[in-house]
Amino acid sequence: MIAEWYKQHGYHFLAFSDHNILLQDERWMVITGQRAEQTFQKYLQRFGPRWVEQVTLQSTQVVRLKPLSEFRSLFEAPDRFLMIPSEEISDQYKKIPIHINATNLRDLIPPQGGTNVLDVMQRNVNAVLAQRQKTGQPLLPHLNHPNFGWAITAEDLMQLRGENFFEVYNGHPSIHNDGDVHHASTERMWDIILTFRLTSLKLGPMYALAVDDSHHYHALSRTNSNSGRGWIMVRAPRLEAAAIITAMEAGDFYACTGVRLKEVTRGPTQLSLVIDPEPGVTYITKFFGTRKGYDPASEPVEGPTNSVAAVTRHYSSEIGTLLGAGNGTLASYVLQGDEIYVRAKVISSKPKANSVVPDETEMAWTQPLVPPVPATK
């Protein structure tokens, strides 16, 4: 039912990523309660009794959950729709939630645990990379919703090795993309992470995703976690998992909550984009980045009372500063020679349908342009 929704709404690929579950093996679900019964009846009506496998055990009705290998053939079509097996590896440290998606998995990866927040993240990323090395199958780990439970700081995430993706936008109403009086927004975290990874840490860029965090499929509400709030647009030569992952690892994609881009060009000396406009909608593009010689100093931020999670430190406004802005459907920024990176954010005037926060409008985020390092003799 979920796969059909995404295909009908124009998506080209979909990765199911449930908590510590891969859509394989034998699973049965008890149908109990009004919500489950309504869901089951919709499923039965749509696909019919020949497809739906159900039995009654001691007056309890149960239904077999189809593995991906059985139902993907109903929806997949060459150059039209692809389903990618994935898992949300859901771990924790001292009740701090730490979730990492693993896309295009072959085998389930259990939570790895660890001695602190960074260690938990690193152990789980290492497990994904180990499976990639063992199987030769392209796999992509990414850090989920850093502000869920205020779990992840920019200081921890910037040190993560072998993982270059995180969620700058997540459609769950409890994710806190915009931060609060104590915590940095995910965009602010992104600028801090980019600045230090590209300078003192020398770990390369961190790329940003916009995603759904779908838990509710039957009632649309700001307080529900519905489908269709965030996605990525990937420039890949083929609709295949390997081609999509290769393009993403090159940063050849953008994150989106509604704004469509006809073209994004990164480098070597200019970041430019062309917006696919909608009638009556206006657009402003803002270019953010950090220049060489920035002030790296930071100060601790006091967290909420009784919070066990650390809080991202306060940094200079020289990190992630506004470098330029423009209106219209064409936007570009020419490097002046001292930028560490430049990224673009497009903000439209169109209200976002089924938004998570009040007054939210549709947006898009490009991946950062990192100037090439000059060759040395």
pLDDT for position 375: 59
pLDDT for position 305: 84
pLDDT, one tens digit per residue, over 310-330 is 999 999 999 999 999 999 999
Percent of the chain with pLDDT strictly greater than 90: 90
**Token duo for residue 27:** 């699973």
Taking residue 298's Cβ as centre, other Cβ atoms within 10 Å add up to: 16
pLDDT for position 316: 98
Give the separation between CA 234 and CA 243, rounded to whole angstroms: 10
pLDDT confidence tier of residue 222, bands split at 50, 70 and 90: confident
Is pTM beyond 0.85? Reply is yes
Contact predicate 258/352, CB 8 Å: yes
All structural domains of the chain with their residue ranges: 2-25+67-366
Exposed, middle or buried, 286 (CB in 10 Å: 0-12/13-18/19+)?
middle
pLDDT, one tens digit per residue, over 122-161 is 999 999 999 999 999 999 999 999 999 999 999 999 999 9
pLDDT, one tens digit per residue, over 244-283 is 999 999 999 999 999 999 999 998 999 999 999 999 999 9
Give the separation between CA 29 and CA 52, rounded to whole angstroms: 12
* Rounded mean pLDDT, 181-189: 97
pLDDT for position 287: 98
pLDDT confidence tier of residue 19, bands split at 50, 70 and 90: very high
Dihedrals phi, psi of 72, to nearest 5 degrees: -65, -30
pLDDT, one tens digit per residue, over 201-216 is 999 999 999 999 988 8
